[in-house]
Amino acid sequence: MAHSAWRATVVAMLGVLAIGGRDPQQEQPIGTENGEWRYWGADERSTRYAPLDQIDASNVAGLEVAWRWKAANYGPEPDFIYRATPIKVGNRLYTVAGQRRTVVAIDPTTGETLWMWRMRDNPRWEASTRKNYGKAVAYADVGGRGVIYAITPGYYLVALDAETGVPVPSFGLNGIVDLHLGLGTYAVHPDSGVLADGDITASSPPIVVNGVVVVGNSHDRGYYPTKKENVPGHIRGYDAKTGMLRWTFHVVPQPGEFGHETWEGDSWTYTGNISAWAPLSADAARGLVFIPTDTPTNDYYGGERPGQNLYGTSLIALDVATGRRAWHFQMVHHDVWNFDNPDAPKVVDVMVEGRRVPMVVQTTKQGWAYVLHRETGQPVWPIEERPVPQSDVPGERTWPTQPHVTRPAAFEQQGITEDDLIDFTPALRAQALELARPYHMGPLFTPPSLLAAPDGTKGAFVVPGANGGSNIPGGSSVDPETGILYVATEHGHSVISLVPGPEHESTARYVSTGPGGIRGPMGLELLKPPYGSIVAIDLKTGDHLWRIPNGDTPESLRNHPAVRGVDLPVTGKRSHANVLTTRTLLFYGEGRRGDPWVHAVDKATGREIARIALPATTNTAPMTYMHDGRQYIVLAIAGPGVEAELVALALPR
């Protein structure tokens, strides 16, 4: 690790030289600057924090709709989901919309569309498995010209003039770089150019750091794959001015590279995924970019990829100038739980026991916030390798130990026992026990099992389930002024049952039947509440400060005849709240499965100060900015029967 620390120091020095500005030893900026919101996550550090205070506890209840922007017409048909978070640079907002992932510029005062750009129809768009997942765009100042960068569903990187929306001709080929090029040797359909034996696209924007456009990727869902093979999600860095490839980092290490031995046999030749599908973060002053990765192919069976499987389910710190690994931390060895790292890591400096610690914090589906020193990757508080239950599925060799975070405490329930099943009434309790009986229960990292196991069981609980815990729609926010992390978390389970792949038209030996599983009795939740929460964690100490439910008790539970007469607690919704922090308040929307409110909360106590009605539920992470002396909060909303749109809230003039 001393080697890594030395390398990080060198990287930091180079970073200072490269940008000719911030010294990494000095304090980081506090959230956004100049009322802007230049990145998906507010700033390069993905804090989702803005030091704005025009809207505060005294006036927040008076928020009203300033403008609405309709996203529904940007695609072949309307969407009823919208996952975009605009960025704000200068006098414009920029974002993406619809199945085509059309890039748009919007007036921040009125919501008027100023320009739009979309790629021509292309078979690779048709084949894309993540058409409407484009969460945002990236921005950089390149030689005095503002440039917007986006990744299309067909996996092309495009650079657009921020003023006009016209592709920058000096970048790539007329503004476009084909991201299939340089991935490796993969068969494609000759007429369409679509990959024949795998898939790769992107569901997040790139990030521009010190003149390098760093590009992640994503793949189709891996629950029930047709193949054991796929394309690895290698990370690439491109010159922000020319679009020339600067470097490639192999997320499946090639022969001779560090970590190659973690792939036994020839599994490195065909295993794919390990995508960085969540947005990326950076510490430009140190010259580092942080890459959160997901599970290798396939999500729930690893018998065809024996070994520890670096860099699956890891956080990787890369030197952005060279693409070389500064350090890595693998959250889950040989992941068979689909515990993807689902959010951009938070980069923040926090005083711990009198010393300023440069942290990078990864919140996860499995309910832990991994707090690491970002120069070295070393845990700030101990993370211990502990033995975990082992798989009995033929061919599977689960890793004997897994990292266990000792501090902060988990923000979500991990693992399951019978005590965790609902007990609103004795009858419901009895039914819940009966429903759960065929499935393995156990602690976190209890492995998936067979649908038709010799012992008569039908699968295994995974808690938290496929949605987490924390995940991308809600994610987390950190207040750099106080060092407090706010995590939106969902309380739920998956039941994972494995079936033979050949019986399901798959080349994989086993695949899962899917990520869902059983409900509780009569369609109720199986687990006790709370079903969704926001948790405040003090990164100075690792202590939890407070926990509040995500909204009220859902109507579907309150009105359910099986609990008539039962005195229910406030359960919150099984939905990922969408959080945003300002200098004065924490805001959260209830998420897609919540009610159409945005709540304003006292950051210190979790006490609700106000709630503002919206035309539909929030869908993803909101943003805020200041323009012409007025603070706005912008939320992406949609829902059953309500087409996708942005809604901007502000105080009355």
Q: Which residues bind to another protein, rule: CB under 8 A? A: 77, 79-81, 129-133, 220-221, 223-224, 435, 438-439, 451, 458, 495, 497, 499, 504, 511-523, 526, 556, 560-562, 592-593, 639-641
Q: Quick one: 640 or 652, whose CB is closer to another protein?
A: 640
In degrees, rounded to 5, the angle at the alpha carbon of residue 448 between the alpha carbons of residues 444 and 449 is 135
Q: How far is the CB of 635 from another protein (least distance, A)?
A: 18
Specify the DSSP class assigned to residue 281.
E
Q: Which runs of consecutive H residues, i.e. helices, occur in 93-195? A: 123-127
Q: Can you name the residues that pair with 67 across neighbouring β-strands?
A: 648
**Cβ atoms within 10 Å of 213's Cβ, excluding its own:** 27
Report residue 181 as tokens.
């090029």
Question: How far out from the chain centre does Cα 375 lie?
Answer: 22
Specify the DSSP class assigned to residue 273.
B
Q: Are 414 and 364 in contact (CB under 8 A)?
A: no
Q: Which of 369, 303, 385, 336 is nearest to 494 (CA)?
A: 336
Q: Quick one: 379 or 516, whose CB is closer to another protein?
A: 516
Q: Quick one: 413 or 512, whose CB is closer to another protein?
A: 512
SS (H, E, C) 344-366: CCEEEEEEECCEEEEEEEEECCC
647 to 69, 93, 291, 628, 642: CA distances (angstroms): 6, 13, 31, 18, 13
Beta strands at 207-209 and 383-387: parallel, antiparallel or unpaired: unpaired
Q: How far is the CB of 132 from another protein (least distance, A)?
A: 7
Q: Are 497 and 512 in contact (CB under 8 A)?
A: yes
Q: How far is the CB of 399 from another protein (least distance, A)?
A: 26
Q: Quick one: 61 or 566, whose CB is closer to another protein?
A: 566
Q: Quick one: 522 or 604, whose CB is closer to another protein?
A: 522
Q: Quick one: 146 or 514, whose CB is closer to another protein?
A: 514
Q: Quick one: 132 or 571, whose CB is closer to another protein?
A: 132
Q: Are 327 and 319 in contact (CB under 8 A)?
A: no
Q: Quick one: 320 or 524, whose CB is closer to another protein?
A: 524
Q: Quick one: 545 or 562, whose CB is closer to another protein?
A: 562
Q: How far is the CB of 381 from another protein (least distance, A)?
A: 35
Q: State in Å, rounded, how far the first CA of the chain is from the last one.
A: 56
Q: Can you name the residues that pair with 384 across neighbouring β-strands?
A: 404
Q: Considering Cα of 5, then 314, then 364, then 575, what sign does the dihedral take?
A: positive
Q: Are 439 and 458 in contact (CB under 8 A)?
A: yes
Q: How far is the CB of 594 from another protein (least distance, A)?
A: 11
Q: Quick one: 303 or 515, whose CB is closer to another protein?
A: 515
Q: Quick one: 334 or 592, whose CB is closer to another protein?
A: 592
φ, ψ at 589 (rounded to 5°): -90, 155
Amino acid at 253: P
Q: Which of 629, 600, 627 is nearest to 614 (CA)?
A: 600
Q: Quick one: 274 or 526, whose CB is closer to another protein?
A: 526
Cα dihedral 355→356→362→363 (10° resolution): 70
Q: Quick one: 69 or 439, whose CB is closer to another protein?
A: 439
Q: How far is the CB of 514 from another protein (least distance, A)?
A: 4
Q: How far is the CB of 451 from another protein (least distance, A)?
A: 6
Q: Which runs of consecutive H residues, i.e. helices, occur in 380-479? A: 426-436
**Cβ atoms within 10 Å of 483's Cβ, excluding its own:** 19
Q: How far is the CB of 619 from another protein (least distance, A)?
A: 10
Q: Quick one: 589 or 606, whose CB is closer to another protein?
A: 589
Q: How far is the CB of 16 from another protein (least distance, A)?
A: 42
Q: Quick one: 95 or 513, whose CB is closer to another protein?
A: 513
Q: How far is the CB of 144 from another protein (least distance, A)?
A: 39
Q: How far is the CB of 129 from another protein (least distance, A)?
A: 8
Q: Are 241 and 228 in contact (CB under 8 A)?
A: no
- Cα 480 to Cα 346: distance, rounded to the nearest angstrom: 10
Q: How far is the CB of 224 from another protein (least distance, A)?
A: 6
Amino acid at 171: F
Helix (H, G, I), strand (E, B) or coil at 10: helix
Q: How far is the CB of 395 from another protein (least distance, A)?
A: 19
Residue 270: half-sphere exposure toward Cβ, Cα within 13 Å: 15
Q: How far is the CB of 605 from another protein (least distance, A)?
A: 33
Q: Using only C-alpha atoms, what is the Rg of the chain? A: 23
Q: How far is the CB of 595 from another protein (least distance, A)?
A: 13
- Cα 9 to Cα 1: distance, rounded to the nearest angstrom: 12
In degrees, rounded to 5, the angle at the alpha carbon of residue 328 between the alpha carbons of residues 8 and 333 is 165
